[in-house]
Structure 1
């Protein structure tokens, strides 16, 4: 039976991905040509299923070939802020799995990507490697390691241990893990191809409370649904539930964490806090109800897809059942049966046009920010703290994110530098308490905020120039410039003199001693490298600089 499934999968894989794959390096007379193409197609399929991207995008993410350092495909999924790394193996018999040594080579390749070490990758991959490496170094980005084969769905002990050890090392002590692994075997591949996300063949059974009906110009239902029902939808259908959405579930974002927290802590208030979900469905069947009751209607929506609210549903799926029974979520369903062909796409597009409100947007209501803007304006500086596409950082202007980063590095200790590397969004999660209040409070003047920003810009320029002097882009001397840039900045600011930051902007700018600053940069950098080489010689630097105690040890040595 397994061999039969492999045979059935073969044709569909080739049809989906071969036209888009780069197979120029596989000779026409190569006896393993088809196996190699199928292996690449399998890697593309893993990306396609995980990210919900197009077949062409998935095929273009394939790295497989000479000197790929064990990575067969790599893809940055912007919707989930996640880098997906894939190793694939085509097994004709439909049984077996990748060997532990191959998995070891794979995780080493991923480690090199995270550490931005390109030495083991073929020059043909360097452009794509640089893009992926940059993504992995961005705070908030997670890493997903996918092993896919037409074999076992569960890896043997030694193979799984390789993946578990690596993800544990990458996650370190972070309470919110940024890395995990997934294994796709023959069963998952077969199911994934049989239930292609693009087919939109989901049927959803729903009990809608306090429902109403709109008959024209297009039929629609609206009302309230309980959270437990939405969780069951997600468990049963997963990403197929959002096949028509322009975005899939975004994973562990701050907004989604807030959704889960609200549902778990204040289930009876959830309706007041949430915008609800919108579905489109090709058709609907409704169970008969006595006396035209609108208190509860039982529906079956065919060809259904969530076009707005994917984050709500996927987040509720991670909440315990008990509070979900009390959660009520606004819902509306638009039926497309007699609508024009393009109407469903219009609904999807217009329901996703709203500008997303981010935690940082509430900074605009903080009097401290307005005070800082006024104080900077008096000295001729334009402080832009309201989110806008027109923000430009110049010698006479600055914006919220860089000011936050600069002030976090100017506290005289390393803790806030760690939080910046973990994700700057944490500073805006709660404007009434640290870390936000630790750097934005009455003791911080507009001059200090801008002077710290000027100093950080100069330190970043030094770091960029230092990178150019390092020919071997690997090891602590390279990695500390990538992952330890904020810890280095914090140390250099302390060495240069934090008291100077409170000087008037004109005075600080006039007296800025670049030669002295660069000397401090070099000394702090040298000391930090020595500490890492001595104390943490084999530690993942991407993890080290998110660890408070380890970062403090490096910081203390560099001050």
Structure 2
């Protein structure tokens, strides 16, 4: 790879993304520097396409590099899979293939990740805001898998010190399970991306098979066992070129991939038995030397492509890189299929067939358990409701019943030990492990208790959904991530002695839930701050079995103490933040201090969930609706770019919300209007007041003689 290949990538970026990638924030800089910025953003768009295949316009919309990007340049969110995926890109262009990535870039990138995990979406710029709705959906659906992509126009490997720092930092997010991973895309990867799969380099490779066998009718195929080091070396040499025909490529952070890697690192001698193996299509297969079936032989392969088992190959490489001494003991079954004498299209049929078989999940086996069949019957006979236990069966409407999955979540939250709430929160599939499943369902679950726990969980989630609209920052994160923890805490406050008795008035207990949810949320946040730390990630606290136990015990003690619930920080509540924003009028404070120069461009960013829900589409229809110009005036400081008229920050936001949703209500606009790279008007006013207070304190301090 050389500067010649860099030119190929440059031309592809220019051909595909010119006039698509937003460069409006770079109009005032020299043309050559502006073009370098464009190439870097184009590289980020290519990285988005490499991870989430999409059109050029869609990839361009994923780029939000610029002011307030917080160390991230592009994003892609996929909520279609059973577990949502979020791809975050940082890109570095270099004409000489020397794109740099150092310690500072690591820290910046992970700070941006922290803001996203803490749901601090308003801290990001306008181009990021169009992705907030998808991000919220990803977090609402469960704990997403997050991939950090280092898109670097370079040929050298990543510096070992930088790689070590990155892996150490990422390890802190993965103390429970792998939620965050990273990928390094270099010149070779981008060159292959722009060529496309059909034009990918033709791979010729030598493979050594142990205990091999063969098929000759109707088509030629060889099968046998390969060692993990040989598979890892193959990936190291050819990387993603191996997967040219594979319809899914290697999804490095899927549940399957992580389990493959863990098996290889924990039970390498069992890997051959637990793995489905690898299927390889070849244009031709040639035996090197004498090959006796059942023995060891080497084969020369031309036109190699892994069409099934891409995740296995990728996981093997990662496990072997992480711990070669352990992983090298693993072995894997490999099938080599020659296309020499096959009819046209046969290779495509192999690829499709081997990738579209529905996998059997652990929960499918539980649907065969007599315990679940009995529950299903009792739901009908005792409750006149439906209970769905088979995957693929239509779920009943909430008022008509429940599914085995919803019941498992509810029973995990209601268990005496909070660890089961953590297991359910981080990965529902863990509830189907035999020991966990027996613990939450028991040998003879009572149908009344199961249904009433489901009703409790629904009531908690409904109230949390209402509260989230008025919450910000960590409080909003607890309301979003902490539903099972809060349900666990509330269950301990209810009178559950008669929960299995059909004559018990469970509605009387459910009527207490709305008030209890507010108190439990406050106590849970207080407990997480006190037990784990005020800067800890809420998502980690509710997924870690040790942390959730500490938080649950503390919150339950607080609820049982009879004391009033801790008051939420005003910055965690929309009403409180608005009240602080009005303190001595934030806009007046800024004007008096001349803190913002006349002519400064400001951006409108929705802060609350209702604002995002009601205004996102309306704002996207006309970009000028999110822009205003500042002037230092006693009134009407903002000139809205949508109509050219002057407004105060709050009046303008009120007008905008009425236009977007038809709702006319008082708001505090200084929360929404941001000076890029500096903060909201409220933030800036708070800083001005803090500086004045500091000066006053220093002035009043007694002189020391």
TM-score, normalising length from structure 2?
0.67
**How far 1:403 sits from its partner (Å)?**
0.8
Note closer, same or farther for the CA distance 1:480–1:38 as it changes in structure 2 (3 Å cut): same
Q: Which residue of 2 aligns with 1:436?
A: 437
Match of 1:299 in 2: 299
Mapped contact 1:211–1:294 kept (Cα < 8 A)? yes
Q: For structure 1, which segment, 407-416 or 127-136, has the greater mean C-alpha deviation from structure 2 after superposition? A: 127-136
Report whether the alignment pairs 1:391 with 2:395.
yes
3-state SS of 1:502 partner: coil
Give per-residue Cα distances to partners, 1:145-196, cap 9 Å, x unaligned: 2333446754696x7798567535433x43x343244555xxx324641586
Partners of 2:369 and 2:505 lie apart in 1 by 27
Q: What's the counterpart of residue 494 of structure 2? A: 496
Partners in 2 of 1:103 and 1:253 — Cα distance?
23
| Corresponding position: 1:356 with 2:359 | yes
Q: Deviations over 1:102-131 (max 9, x none)?
A: 654433322121222211123443341231
Partners in 2 of 1:418 and 1:276 — Cα distance?
Answer: 32
> How many residues are aligned here?
539
Instruction: Identify the residue that residue 191 of structure 2 maps to in structure 1.
Output: 193
Partner in structure 2 of residue 178 of structure 1: 179
Shift of 1:440: 1.6
Counterpart for residue 522 of structure 1: 518
Partner in structure 1 of residue 348 of structure 2: 345
TM-superposed CA distance for 1:336, in Å, is 5.5
Is the CA contact (8 Å cut-off) linking 2:206 and 2:300 kept in structure 1? Answer: yes
The answer to which of 198-207 and 347-356 deviates more is: 198-207
Coordinate RMSD, CA, aligned = 3.6
1:23 to 2:22 alignment: yes
State the shift of 1:398 in Å: 0.7
SS where residue 415 of structure 2 aligns?
coil
In the other structure, the counterpart of 2:539 is 542
1:446-485 deviation per Cα after TM superposition (whole angstroms, max 9, x unaligned): 2211110111011100010111122xx32x2111112222
Partner SS, residue 119 of structure 1 = helix
Larger Rg: 2
Query: Match of 2:366, SS?
Result: helix
**Mapping of residues 60-139 of structure 1, within 5 Å:** 60-65=61-66, 67-76=68-77, 82-92=85-95, 94-95=97-98, 97=100, 104-135=107-138, 139=142
Aligned to 1:211: 213
- 1:224 is matched with 224
Output one character per residue of 1:27-57: Cα deviation in whole Å (capped at 9) or x when no partner: 77862432222011111233344x2735636
Question: 1:200 touches 1:305 (CA, 8 Å); kept in 2?
Answer: no
Of 531, 549, 552, the residue aligned with 1:552 is: 549
Pairwise mapping of residues 146-165 of structure 1 onto structure 2 (< 5 A)? 146-150=149-153, 153-154=157-158, 163=166
Indicate if the aligned counterparts of 2:308 and 2:355 stay in contact, CA closer than 8 A.
Answer: yes
Provide the rounded CA distance (Å) in 1 between the counterparts of 2:413 and 2:504.
21
Give CA deviations for 1:323-353 in whole Å, capped at 9, x if unaligned. 866735152414156632x433232222222
1:413 and 2:410 matched: no
Tell me by how many angstroms 1:414 deviates: 1.6
Deviates more, 1:161-170 or 1:476-485: 161-170
Is the contact made by 1:87 and 1:106 (CA closer than 8 Å) also made in structure 2? yes
Q: Classify 1:364/1:332 alpha carbon distance in 2 versus 1 (closer, same or farther; 3 Å).
A: farther
Question: Relative contact order, CA 8 A, sep 6+: which one is greater?
Answer: 1
Change over 3 Å in CA distance of 1:220–1:5 after alignment to 2: closer
Contact 2:280 / 2:307 at 8 angstroms: preserved in 1? yes
Q: Is the 8 A contact 2:231 2:313 kept in 1?
A: yes
Aligned-pair CA distance for 1:357:
1.0
Q: CA deviation at 1:407?
A: 0.3
- Once residues 252 and 360 of structure 1 are traced to their aligned partners in structure 2, the CA distance between those partners, rounded to angstroms, is 21
2:41 aligned residue: 40
In the other structure, the counterpart of 1:236 is 237
What residue number does 1:485 align with?
483
- Measure how far apart 1:524 and its partner are: 0.8
Contact 2:52 2:76 (C-alpha < 8 Å) held by counterparts: no
2: CA distance between counterparts of 1:109 and 1:322?
Answer: 35
The gaps in structure 2 that reach 5 residues or longer are 557-705
Q: Quick one: structure 1 residues 393 and 297, their matched pair in 2 at CA, closer, same or farther if it must change by over 3 Å?
A: farther
Corresponding residue for 1:468?
A: 469
Structure 1 residues 253 and 163: CA distance shift in structure 2, 3 A: closer
Distance 2:256 2:105 in 1: 38
- Is there any run of 5+ residues in structure 1 with no aligned partner, and where? none
Alpha-carbon spacing, 1:522–1:98, altered in 2? closer, same or farther (3 Å)? same
